[in-house]
Amino acid sequence: MEKTRYQKGVDIINEITVTDNKEIGTHMDIVAAFKDIAPDLESFIVEFAFGDIYSREGLTKHQQTMATIASLVTLGTEPQLELHINVGITIGLTPKEIVGTIVHLIPYTGFPKVLNALKIVKRVFAQRNVKIDDLAMQSN
Amino acid sequence: MEKTRYQKGVDIINEITVTDNKEIGTHMDIVAAFKDIAPDLESFIVEFAFGDIYSREGLTKHQQTMATIASLVTLGTEPQLELHINVGITIGLTPKEIVGTIVHLIPYTGFPKVLNALKIVKRVFAQRNVKIDDLAMQSN
Amino acid sequence: MEKTRYQKGVDIINEITVTDNKEIGTHMDIVAAFKDIAPDLESFIVEFAFGDIYSREGLTKHQQTMATIASLVTLGTEPQLELHINVGITIGLTPKEIVGTIVHLIPYTGFPKVLNALKIVKRVFAQRNVKIDDLAMQSN
Amino acid sequence: MEKTRYQKGVDIINEITVTDNKEIGTHMDIVAAFKDIAPDLESFIVEFAFGDIYSREGLTKHQQTMATIASLVTLGTEPQLELHINVGITIGLTPKEIVGTIVHLIPYTGFPKVLNALKIVKRVFAQRNVKIDDLAMQSN
Amino acid sequence: MEKTRYQKGVDIINEITVTDNKEIGTHMDIVAAFKDIAPDLESFIVEFAFGDIYSREGLTKHQQTMATIASLVTLGTEPQLELHINVGITIGLTPKEIVGTIVHLIPYTGFPKVLNALKIVKRVFAQRNVKIDDLAMQSN
Amino acid sequence: MEKTRYQKGVDIINEITVTDNKEIGTHMDIVAAFKDIAPDLESFIVEFAFGDIYSREGLTKHQQTMATIASLVTLGTEPQLELHINVGITIGLTPKEIVGTIVHLIPYTGFPKVLNALKIVKRVFAQRNVKIDDLAMQSN
Q: Please choose, from the candidates D37, F93, F75, F58, the residue with its C-alpha nearest in 3D space to the C-alpha of residue E59.
A: F93
Q: How large is the average pLDDT for residues F106-129?
A: 97
F63 vs B27: which has the higher pLDDT:
F63
- Helix boundaries (H) for E56-134: 61-75, 78-91, 95-103, 106-109, 111-127
Write the pLDDT tens digit of every residue in F50-105.
999 999 999 999 999 999 999 999 999 999 999 999 999 999 999 999 999 999 99
pLDDT bucket at C136, cuts 50 / 70 / 90 = low
Say which residues have a Cβ less than 8 Å from residue A98's Cβ, sequence separation at least 6: A69, A85, A88, A89, A121
Alpha carbon of residue D74 to chain centroid: 14
pLDDT above 50: residue A140:
no
E132 pLDDT higher than 60: yes
Beta strands in chain C (DSSP E): none
- The helix/strand/coil state of E77 is coil
Contact D56 E40 (CB under 8 A): yes
Percent of chain A with pLDDT over 90: 81
Percent above pLDDT 70 for chain F: 95
Subunits that touch chain F (at least 3 Cβ pairs < 8 angstroms)? A, B, C, D, E
Q: How many CA atoms lie within 13 A of B68 on its CB side?
A: 28
Amino acid at the residue C27: H
Q: Give CA–CA dist E5/B14, Å, rounded.
A: 57
Which string of b and e fits D18-53 if b means at least 16 CB within 10 Å?
eeeeeebbbbbebbebbeebbebbbbbbbbbbbbbb
Domains and CATH numbers, chain E: 1-56 (no CATH), 60-130 (1.20.1290.10)
Q: A52 — phi, psi (to 5°)? A: -95, -60
Alpha carbon distance A91, A86 (integer Å): 9
Mean pLDDT value of segment C50-54: 98
pLDDT band of D139, cuts 50, 70, 90: very low
Measured between CB atoms, which of E53, E57, E106 is closest to F53? Answer: E106
| All residues at 6 or more sequence positions from E11 whose CB lies less than 8 Å from its CB, including other chains | E3
Cβ pair D50, D13 in contact under 8 A: yes
- From the list D89, D88, D95, D92, the residue with the least C-alpha distance to D135 is D95
Mean pLDDT, rounded, of chain D: 92
User: Chain C residue closest to E68 (CA)?
Assistant: C112
In sequence order, the 6+-apart residues with CB closer than 8 A to the CB of D139 are A39, A40, A43, C56
Cβ contacts of A79 on chain D, cutoff 8 Å: 112, 115-116
When scoring D6, D13, D37, D74 by the number of chain F Cβ atoms within 10 A, the one with the most, hence best to mutate, is D37
Confidence of residue B22 (pLDDT cuts 50, 70, 90): confident
- Measured over the CA atoms of residue F19, residue F20, residue F24 and residue F25, the dihedral's sign is positive
Q: Which residues of F touch B53 (CB under 8 A)?
A: 44
> Which has more confidence, D20 or B2?
B2
pLDDT at D140: 40
- Dihedral angle sign, alpha carbons of residues B94, B99, B103, B109: positive
Q: Measured at the alpha carbon of residue A104, what is the angle toward residues B41 and B85, in degrees to the nearest 5?
A: 80
Residues of chain B contacting residue E132, judged by C-beta atoms under 8 Å apart: 36-37
Q: Name the pLDDT band for B69 (thresholds 50, 70, 90).
A: very high
pLDDT digits 0-9 by tens, D62-95: 999 999 999 999 999 999 999 999 999 999 999 9
Contact C51, C61 (CB under 8 A): no
Q: Which residues of E touch F58 (CB under 8 A)?
A: 96-97, 99-100, 138
Q: Is residue F22 very low, low, confident or very high in pLDDT (cuts 50, 70, 90)?
A: confident
Taking the CA atoms of residue B113, residue B114, residue B115 and residue B117 in that order, the dihedral angle to the nearest 10 degrees is 90
- Sequence length of chain F is 140
pLDDT band at E140 (very low <50, low <70, confident <90, very high): very low
Note the pLDDT of residue D48: 98
* Residue D101: predicted pLDDT: 98
Under the banding of pLDDT at 50, 70 and 90, the label for residue B134 is: low
* The pLDDT value given to residue F72: 98
Q: Is F92 on the interface with A (CB under 8 A)?
A: no
CA dihedral of residues C70, C72, C78, C79 (deg, nearest 10): -110
- Which chain D residues in 50-79 lie under 8 Å from chain E, judged by CB atoms? 52-53, 56
Is the CB of D112 less than 8 angstroms away from the CB of A30?
no
Residue F122 CA, chain-centre distance (Å), reads 15
Flag whether residue D111 sits within 8 Å of chain B, measured between CB atoms. yes
For the stretch A58-99, pLDDT in tens is 999 999 999 999 999 999 999 999 999 999 999 999 999 999
Tens digits of residue pLDDT in E16-60:
988 777 777 889 899 999 999 999 999 999 999 999 999 999 999
Higher pLDDT, D30 or C104: C104
Give the integer Cα–Cα distance in Å for B116 and B136.
Answer: 20
Global pTM?
0.96
F38 touches chain E (CB under 8 A): no
Region of residue A41 (left: phi > 0; alpha: psi -120 to 50; beta: else): alpha
pLDDT, residue A22, reads 76
- The percentage of chain A sitting over the pLDDT mark of 70, rounded to a whole number, equals 95
Is any Cβ of chain E less than 8 angstroms from the Cβ of D43?
Answer: yes
Of E135, E50, D59, which Cα lies nearest the Cα of C67?
D59
Do F100 and E71 make contact, defined as CB atoms within 8 angstroms?
Answer: no
Average pLDDT score, chain F: 92
Average pLDDT over residues C35-51: 97
Residue, of F132 and E42, whose pLDDT is higher: E42
* Contact flag D110-A75 (C-beta cutoff 8 Å): yes
Rg (CA), chain D: 16
Q: Which pLDDT belongs to residue A136?
A: 56
- Can you give the pLDDT at residue F139? 44
How far is Cα F33 from Cα F31, in angstroms, rounded to an integer? 6
A13 at B interface, C-beta within 8 A: no
E108 touches chain D (CB under 8 A): no
Nearest chain F residue (CA) to A125: F37
The residue type at B24? I
Residue D68 burial (CB < 10 Å; 0-12/13-18/19+)?
A: buried
Is the model's pLDDT at F136 over the cut of 60? no
Instruction: Name the neighbours of A, counting chains with at least 3 Cβ pairs within 8 A.
Output: B, C, D, E, F
CB contact under 8 A, E96 and F48: no
Beta strands in E77-118 (DSSP E): none
- Contact indicator for C97, C128 with CB cutoff of 8 Å: no
Nearest CA in chain E to D43: E52
Considering only CB atoms, which chain C residues are within 8 Å of E30? 115
Task: Indicate whether C74 pLDDT > 50.
Answer: yes
Residues of A in contact with C48 (CB under 8 A): 44, 48, 52
Band the pLDDT of F107: cuts 50, 70, 90.
very high
Hey, what amino acid is at D131? K
**CA separation for the pair B128, E134 (Å, rounded):** 40
Q: How near does any CA of chain A get to the CA of D55, in Å? A: 32
Residue range B38-67, pLDDT digits in tens: 999 999 999 999 999 999 999 999 999 999
Q: How far B103 CA sits from the closest chain D CA (Å)?
A: 12
| Torsion angles phi and psi, residue C131, rounded to 5 | -75, 125
Segment D124-133 shows an average pLDDT of 90
Distance from the C116 Cα atom to the nearest Cα atom in chain A, whole angstroms = 22
Q: How much is the pLDDT for B2?
A: 84
What is the DSSP-derived secondary structure letter of residue C59?
Answer: S
Using a pLDDT cut of 70, give the percent of chain E over it.
94
* Beta-carbon separation of D48 and E43 below 8 A: no
pLDDT category at C133 given cuts 50, 70, 90 is confident
In whole angstroms, give the CA distance from residue A101 to residue A112: 15
